[in-house]
A and B are shown apart, each in its own frame.
Chain A
Amino acid sequence: MDRLALDVAHLFAGGLVLVSFLLLYQDRMTGLVNTFAMHAVVVSLSVAWQAYIQEAPHLYITAAIALVVKAFVIPLALHRIIVRLGIHKTIEPVVGIGLTMLAGIGLVALSIMVMLPITAQAGTLAREDLAFALSVILLGLLMMVTRRNAVSQVIGFMSIENGLILAATGAKGMPLVVEISVAFSILVALIVIGIFLFRIRERFETVDIHLLHEHRGEQP
């Protein structure tokens, strides 16, 4: 495989890790959602490049779905939810941003140290791709752990999905899973929005009612 093709593949995969870091230090909802859209754009570029160098046209479909759904549809929906619920400022990190970033760097180092030695047989392309993919997955997990807010958790989860797509496309010739996992990520995203909408709306109502009852000295 020629040098340039590899370099571009690494550029996109490395770029995805970088955007994962960007996700970690967002302190505003809108910024977070926009950064996630960028995450999705980078992953779809990466998948499209893989489709080109592996000569696997079905991967273009994966790339297109990632682009349309994760870079446009879901961010737009999330923006609407955020505006409607008026929660655009509420990101409550459990751990400070600085500490989270340090932990993130540690996780990336860990995934590179774990993946590179053992994937020696897997071919250069898959090798670095897997190391980057594991970094993205671990950073997504870190984000889910360090954020209390539901929207941030969903975005953390979807960034994990992007990392998985990167890993699956890096594993050359892997059947089925890319298409199916993309279909599922759409389903997951739909459910997330559904649960999320119900959750927030009904919770606020109940919490309010509960408070009222308590003020009157009654249990609901």
Chain B
Amino acid sequence: MSDAAALAVAGILGVPALAAALLALLPDDRTAARLNALAALATLACALVLLAHRPPPGPFLIVDDLNVVFIVLGTFVGFTTSVFSASYIAHELEIGRLTPAYLRFYHAMYQTLMFAMNLALLSNNIGLMWVAVELATLTTVLMVGIYRTPAALEAAWKYFILGSVGIALALFGTILVYLAARASVGEGLDAMAWSVLVERAHGFDPALLNLAFVFLLLGYGTKVGLVPLHAWLPDAHAEGPTPISAVLSGLLLNVALFAVLRFKTIMSANPGALAPGPLMVSLGLLSVVFASFMLYRRQDIKRLFAYSSIEHMGIITFAFGMGGPLANFAGLLHMTLHSLTKSAIFYCVGHIAQVKGTQQMSGIRGLTVTHPLLGWGLVLGVVAIAGLPPMGIFMTEFLIITSSFAREPVLAVVLGLSILVALGALFLRLNTLAFGDPQGSAEPSKASFAPLFAHLVLVLAAGIWLPPALVAWFQHVARLLN
């Protein structure tokens, strides 16, 4: 039993690491893209094993109810993105935007990123988690700058600087948590093991924990993309290859949020410490309000959806900050559905930008006429992300607003209004993008539609019927987060 689980954990970390090494050596691009997808599929299979079997927590790695959700979601989106990436990259090679040498580098980095994210999610040691998040940051920096255009390098630079400052603050917070724990747990690995920290948190010095949490929230919050620390996010999404935008929005932001949640649990376990909720609620709400208004001024289609990611990460942070079984449940589900929807939108946007040869929205019109599948895919994606029924995000947003309405009516109203503002902006853009007289090239796209519609179908299904097992599982996790 536990052998299978240990093997699965080894697979989740080992397969991407091996694949990264192999892809760095393989010269042929066609096999490389396939191998990339295959490795992602193998990782997903290992992650699914964890649903049934779990290894006991060790000093470095842990599998618990919370991170299983993130790992399964992460490896699934990682796999679908690798399938999308194969067709996206083929086109980039054709038009010569990427050379085979850079492509090899791209695939190796993709798997390294998967490894880093899985390690961050699986780690039981807060130092190891920090290292993994840092590794994920560095790989994405390199991938954002891969086109070597001035704009891409500028975006990579900005991301690198802001991301490193965030990560530096997070390390300081991590050191402070260790200091707080050392007094009661003692020196050594135990004082950094998350499972030990949560159990013993009630005895920690509250003042140290408070300061640590402020640093951790600001540090990892930078990576979540919370306003006012979000400046890197739109650039990084817009200038890098689109599969990376999908992975950034769908996965990396979640990983950073996961780190915040881990520390929030420690804070909540200490009676003397500051309540982490209000801090997260205010940062989350600020992000939602800011991003929903900024949506109106966007010209670039990838930037538009990057701002939408800031908005949704704000909603999720708000929900977790509110706390309580219902809000946590809704936050968790919203995070899952947002990952699926946003990556689907980026798959769609990636092909659209390739077909039209531009990311400027002024150059894209009437998609449903020229490219019905892409056009309607985009329409469905935007309907989902804007939070309209029957898609799943409608339900989670509804749950978040109603559950917070009982406790903080003013905040709930502000949240609801901002979501409506964002909806207005998205539909304003969608109207010209998808309908009206076609503009730009009408040549058919060699897109792979399977990942796009697989995600959208899942989001739609979640809006109509959630399997009771899933509900029970998420409810259980939501209670744990309290």
Residues of chain A whose beta carbon lies under 8 Å from any beta carbon of chain B: 114-115, 117-119, 121-122, 126, 130, 133-134, 137, 141, 144, 150, 153, 157, 160-161, 164, 167-168, 171-177, 180-181, 184, 187-188, 191-192, 195, 198-199, 202-203, 206-207
Task: Kindly count the residue-residue contacts between A and B in the assembled complex, taking CB atoms under 8 Å apart.
Answer: 111
Complex Cα spacing A22 to B150, Å: 33
Residues of A within 8 A of B165 (CB): 141, 144, 157, 160
> A176 contacts B182, CB within 8 Å?
no
With A118-B207, A164-B171 as contacts: A176 and B187 at CB distance below 8 Å:
no
Q: Known contacts A141-B165, A167-B175, A173-B182; is A195 also within 8 Å of B127 by CB? A: no
What's the minimum C-beta distance from A159 to chain B, rounded to whole angstroms?
A: 10
**A137: contacting residue among B142, B164, B172, B182, CB under 8 A:** B172
- Name which residue of chain B comes closest to A192, CB basis: B160
Nearest-Cβ distance from residue B254 to partner chain A, whole angstroms: 22
| CB-contact partner of A117 in B138, B148, B207, under 8 A | B207
Tell me if B269 counts as interface (CB < 8 A to partner A): no
Residues of chain B within 8 A of A192, CB atoms compared: 160
Contact B153 A176 (CB under 8 A): no
Assess whether A175 is in contact with B189, with CB atoms less than 8 Å apart.
Answer: yes
- Measured in the bound complex, the distance between the Cα atoms of B255 and A69 in whole Å is 31
Tally of chain B residues near chain A (CB < 8 A): 42
The answer to whether A202 and B178 have CB atoms under 8 Å apart is no
In the complex, what's the smallest C-beta–C-beta distance from B15 to chain A, in angstroms? Answer: 23
Write the chain B residue with the least CB distance to A122.
B179
Q: Closest 7 CB pairs between A and B?
A: A173-B187, A118-B207, A177-B127, A199-B153, A176-B127, A206-B150, A160-B168
Judge whether B450 is part of the interface by a CB distance below 8 angstroms: no
Q: Which of B175-206 contact A (CB under 8 A)?
A: 175-176, 178-179, 182-183, 187-189, 191-192, 205
- Known pairs A122-B208, A174-B178, A181-B171 / 18 extra A-B pairs, C-beta < 8 Å: A144-B165, A150-B157, A157-B168, A164-B172, A164-B175, A173-B182, A174-B192, A175-B189, A175-B192, A176-B128, A177-B127, A177-B130, A177-B174, A177-B192, A184-B134, A191-B138, A198-B148, A198-B153
Task: Look across to chain B and name the residue whose beta carbon is closest to the beta carbon of A119.
Answer: B208
User: Could you say which residues of chain B place their CB within 8 Å of the CB of A174?
Assistant: 127, 175, 178, 187, 191-192
Minimal beta-carbon separation of B62 from chain A (angstroms) = 16
Contact A172 B182 (CB under 8 A): yes
Q: How far is the CB of A69 from chain B (nearest CB, A)?
A: 17
Minimum CB–CB distance for B480 against chain A, Å: 26
The answer to the question of B373 belonging to the interface, with a C-beta cut-off of 8 Å to chain A, is no
Decide: A188 near B138, CB < 8 A? Known: A173-B187, A195-B157, A203-B153. yes
- B131 contacts the other chain (Cβ, under 8 Å)? yes
Q: How far is the CB of A178 from chain B (nearest CB, A)?
A: 9
Q: Does B85 contact A (CB under 8 A)?
A: no
Contact of A114 among B168, B182, B188, B211 (CB under 8 A): B211
Interface centre among B171, B189, B210 (most CB of A within 10 A): B171
B residues engaging A (CB < 8 A)?
Answer: 125, 127-128, 130-131, 134, 138, 141-142, 145, 148-150, 153-154, 156-157, 160-161, 164-165, 168-169, 171-172, 174-176, 178-179, 182-183, 187-189, 191-192, 205, 207-208, 210-211
Neighbouring A residues of B178 by C-beta, 8 Å: 171, 174, 177
- Known contacts A172-B187, A176-B127; A195 and B172 CB within 8 A of each other: no
Is B161 in contact with A144, judged by CB distance below 8 angstroms? yes
Which of A150, A157, A175 has the most B CB atoms < 10 Å from its CB?
A: A175
**With A160-B165, A198-B148: A118-B205 Cβ-Cβ less than 8 Å:** yes
Interface of B is mostly: helix
B148, B161, B168, B175: the one contacting A161 at CB < 8 Å is B168
Give the chain A neighbours of B187 by CB distance below 8 A.
Answer: 172-174
Nearest-CB residue, chain A, relative to B211: A118
Q: List 7 A-B contacts (CB under 8 A).
A: A121-B205, A122-B182, A144-B165, A157-B165, A174-B187, A176-B127, A177-B175
Q: A117-B207, A164-B168 are in contact. Are A199 and B127 (CB under 8 A)?
A: no
Question: In the docked arrangement, what's the CA distance between A121 and B149, Å?
Answer: 52
Known A117-B207, A118-B205; judge A180-B127 contact (CB<8 A). Answer: yes
Instruction: Please measure, in the bound complex, the distance between the C-alpha atom of A115 and the C-alpha atom of B172, giving whole angstroms.
Output: 12
B160–A191 CB distance below 8 A:
yes
**CB distance B160 to A195 under 8 Å?**
yes
Contact B161 A195 (CB under 8 A): no
Contacts of A167 in B (CB 8 A): 172, 175
Question: Do A195 and B145 touch (CB < 8 A)?
Answer: yes
Decide yes or no: A199 and B205 within 8 Å by CB, A141-B165, A180-B127 being known contacts.
no
With the chains together, A119 CA to B211 CA distance in Å? Answer: 10
Chain A CB within 10 A, most for which of B150, B165, B175: B175
Known: A121-B205, A153-B161, A175-B127. Is A126-B179 also a contact (CB below 8 A)?
yes
| Contact yes or no, B150 A122, CB < 8 A | no
What's the Cα separation between A117 and B211 when bound, in Å? 12
CA distance A126 to B179 in the complex (A): 9
Measured CB to CB, the closest approach of chain B to A156, in angstroms, equals 9
A160 to B125, CA, bound (A): 23
- What residues on A are CB-neighbors of B125 within 8 Å? 176
> Residue of A at shortest CB range from B174?
A177
Establish whether residues B188 and A175, one from each chain, have CB atoms under 8 Å apart when the complex forms.
yes
